[in-house]
């Protein structure tokens, strides 16, 4: 599969997720910042990730601290994220993907593998 075919498949997947009634795909593909936050939380989903670490990990050029905070609130309101108090330090709240969101990221990864391996 050549680069043009890969791009065509990626565009098709992106556009269909945005048009879909499914909430996660719309959220995940809303902006690069949304994408980055979801991937950061997924990468830390076993122990969770706190707001400060998210702000530290995500490049400032993708979004400000307040943009990240608003995005987290949006994800919590849509029940895509869970916020749980840290067992070690009760002042810290860690973010996790909901079970459904976590599965949706795994499905997205499988779809990306298929695209890059040239399978439809």
Cα 41 to Cα 73: distance, rounded to the nearest angstrom: 14
DSSP state for residue 22 in the 8-state scheme: -
Per-residue pLDDT of 52-68, as tens digits, reads 999 999 999 999 999 99
What sections of the chain are H helices per DSSP? 3-19, 23-28, 32-43, 51-57, 65-77, 99-117
pLDDT value for 75: 97
pLDDT at residue 119, rounded to an integer: 58
Q: Percent of the chain having pLDDT more than 90?
A: 61
**Is the full-model pTM beyond 0.75?**
yes
Provide the CATH number for the domain formed by 3-114 in this structure.
1.10.10.10
Taking a C-beta distance cutoff of 8 angstroms, is the pair 74, 26 a contact?
A: no
Q: What would the pLDDT profile of 12-30 be if each residue is shown by its tens digit?
A: 777 877 677 788 888 998 9
């Amino acid at each position: 599969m050549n680069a043009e075919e890969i791009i065509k498949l990626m565009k098709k997947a992106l556009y269909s997720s945005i048009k879909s009634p499914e909430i996660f795909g719309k959220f995940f593909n809303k902006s690069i910042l949304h994408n980055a936050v979801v991937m950061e939380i997924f990468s830390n989903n076993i122990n969770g990730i706190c707001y400060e670490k998210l702000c530290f990990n995500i490049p400032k050029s993708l979004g400000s601290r307040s943009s990240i905070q608003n995005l987290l609130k949006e994800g919590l309101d849509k029940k895509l994220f869970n916020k749980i108090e840290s067992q070690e330090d009760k002042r810290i709240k860690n973010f996790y993907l909901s079970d459904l969101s976590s599965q949706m990221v795994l499905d997205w990864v499988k779809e990306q593998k298929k695209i890059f391996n040239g399978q439809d």
